[in-house]
Amino acid sequence: MRLLVIEDEPRIAEILKSGLRQAGFIVDAVHLCADAREALVLIPYDAAILDLGLPDGDGLELLTEVRTAHNRVPILILTARDAVEDRVSGLDTGADDYLIKPFATNELIARIKALLRRPGGALGLELHAGNIDFDTVGQDVRIGSTLLQLPRRECAVLEHLMRRQGRVVPKSILEEKLYGVDDELESNAVPVHVHHLRRKLQEAKATAEIHTIRGVGYLLTEIKE
């Protein structure tokens, strides 16, 4: 998977490159809007990391240009916090996610992976969390090497939680996903499915678990030893 890092601060660019390479990505780095524009046209990147303050222009303008040209590459914005507040609207102009400086490289990698795990993303076909492998095409779930048989609705819940792993998935979103599977949805369908799914994952000794964020939704995280 190939990423483009658009960052003008050389030390940060360097660290980003080495961190992302360690995580298994191929990384190109540019420090000017003009170079980024050219690179994005020439190479079909799987995702891009964009710093907003660049020497020859504003990252948000570049973002608008890219989206106007119908380039759907997932873009994560790196920004100073004040910029988020002043220009939070920028996220609506087509960024897929944003991260505030200073950031942890692990967090950045997790966010990038989450973007790539979206349907149609580079990691969107095969999902992994701990020892859980989810083949979205065959709807096969394996814990380690063991195949786990799951009803369709639980499969749908797990797929969504895995695509958004490490982040909270609102209960309402899961409800919407289940409507597609089952038209007659009970009011407590989501908690019931999550409950069954959680028990099955535990029994199969999965190294990822589902947390309930009462009043908000659910969260899948890997279990750390």
Partner 1 sequence: MKRFRFKSLQVRLAARLAALYVVATVIATGALIYEAYDTASSLNDRELSGRAEDLARAVSRDGAGQTRFALPARLASAYADSTDDIFAIRDAGGHLLTASPVEFGTQVSKWPLAKGDPSYFHITDLGTKEYYGLSVEVGSAAGPLSISVARAAGANALVSSVLREFVFDVAWASPLLMLATLGIGVLVVRSGLRPVREISRVAAGIGPDTTSVRLTSDDLPAEIKPLVDAINHALDRLERGFVVQRQFTANAAHELRTPLAIVTAALEAMQGDSELTKLRADVGRMNRLVEQLLRVARLDSVTLDFDAVDLNEVASSVVATMAPWAIAQGRSVAFVGADTPARAKANSVAVADAIRNLIENAVLHSPPGGEVVVTVQSGARVSVADRGCGVPLDDRERIFDRFWRGKGRKTAGAGLGLAIVQEIMRAHGGQVAVSDNPGGGALFKLAFAFADTVEPSTSSSRN
Cis peptide before 102 (omega within 30 of 0): yes
Number of continuous H segments (helices) and E segments (strands) in the chain: 8, 14
Q: Which of 59, 74, 130, 217 binds partner 1 (CB under 8 A)?
A: 217
| Size of interface with partner 1, in residues (CB under 8 A) | 32
The secondary structure of residue 104, as a DSSP letter, is -
Residue 207 sits in the site that holds partner 1 (CB under 8 A): no
Q: Give 55 or 215: the residue with its C-beta nearer to partner 1.
A: 215
Residue 202 sits in the site that holds partner 1 (CB under 8 A): no
Structure token digits, residue 97: 């996610």
Applying CB under 8 A, which part among 34-42, 76-84, 89-97, 155-163 lies near partner 1? 76-84
3-state SS of 126-173 is EEEECCEEEECCCCEEEECCEEECCCHHHHHHHHHHHHCCCCEEEHHH
Cβ 89 to partner 1 shortest distance, Å: 12
Q: Which residues bind partner 1 (CB under 8 A)?
A: 9, 11-12, 15-16, 18-19, 22, 80-82, 85, 88, 101-106, 166-168, 170-171, 211, 213-217, 219, 221
